[in-house]
Amino acid sequence: MAADTSGFVLAHADFDGPSYGLSRVGPDGAPAYWHDFQLTKAPPGPLRVAVLPAGATVFAGALAEAVDFGGGPLSSQGSAGFQVRLDASGHHISSAAFGAGAIREVAGVASDASGDVAFAGSFAGTLDLGQGPMTPKDQSADAFLARVDPTGTFLLAKAFGGPSDACVAVGMGCDQLAMALGADAAGNLHLLGSYEGSLDVGLGNMNNPSGGDGFLARFTPAGKPAWSIQPPSRRLSAMAVEAHGNALVGGTGMGVASPPPAIAIDHRDPDGKQTFGATFRSQGNATLMGLALDGAGNMAPSGTFVSAASFHVGGVALTVSGTATSTGFVAKLSAGGLWPGPSPASPRRPP
């Protein structure tokens, strides 16, 4: 989901349909448009959405078949990423496929005031986005970060991996995956992801030879790494970035021993320093799936829980009666009401 000053854009993938669905809803709840792009097989993943100037929308994802989003069929050639731009009324502006035969998933999309769009995801094989071929450092998947201008020309393409020996030593794969992407008003990018063994975003290796770990990295508009950190969680799942460059990152079990399971959110300033956080302790299985920030610093976490869940935020218990099936939740939190979060991780910076 993405929001602008005049309405909301909601995207979802219907894995039972199968189809890609996209809607835009105004502040009063009235739908501006609805698209249902029919597929013949389940899509590789959900749509990722960002808002563009003048109320336009860009959405992206991965293709497993040829799909027509209004500008003619886009061919997947096995697997590919795609980007589609619509105007404020939902009419097709442009659409294009990229990374044929290599894209596993498009995990995030972000835009800036100029209309440039950035993508992040994972790939296997050889990926060429007009900046030269990129290949994973072993036989597993690597993360990628790319930026295109309004004409669809790629301005930036980077891959992030790690040496395979750390993973081979413990007998596992070495997937380096992007999970979410956000941009501030100046076009700086925040990339959330996970890695196994080791990962280098351009600031030296981050290592975790015993298993998977999460990372958060900030890049300049030109793609130069500014800093990277390893938040205290192995199960990062959501991120939000606001205009001034503050980032909110969350996951399950961040800095909290399990059991009991816990959801935690961690706020970072533009320099990567932790400013505050909050922990939700739960009696049952709980998963953080989304985060949002508004201009006043208020935060909205959302996710699911199984069985009875009792969330504790700043000493206040919020108890919700659940059932054996998964149940959704959403909450709104003010920045001033949060208590200090997990021990901060020091950002890794260029020398």
| Per-residue pLDDT tens listing for the chain (351 residues) | 777 766 565 555 554 567 888 888 877 778 888 888 888 887 777 788 998 988 899 999 998 888 999 999 998 777 899 999 999 899 999 999 999 889 999 999 999 888 999 999 999 989 999 889 998 877 788 999 999 999 999 999 999 987 655 565 655 667 888 999 999 989 999 999 988 777 889 888 887 655 557 899 999 999 999 999 887 655 788 899 988 899 988 887 644 444 555 777 888 899 998 887 777 766 667 778 888 877 677 777 777 766 555 555 445 555 555 455 666 666 777 765 454 444 455 677 775
Quick: pLDDT tens for 8-20. 655 555 545 678 8
- Closest C-alpha to 41, from 60, 22, 14: 14
Question: Cα(32)–Cα(6) distance, rounded to whole angstroms?
Answer: 11
| Tens digit of each residue's pLDDT (9 = 90 or more) over 116-167 | 999 999 999 899 998 899 988 777 889 999 999 999 999 999 999 876 555 6
- Asked if 74 and 64 count as a contact pair (C-beta separation under 8 A), the reply is no
Give the bridge partners for 168, in sequence order. none
Q: What span, in angstroms and rounded, lies between the C-alpha atoms of 149 and 202?
A: 24
| Domains of the chain and any CATH numbers | 2-246 (2.130.10), 247-351 (no CATH)
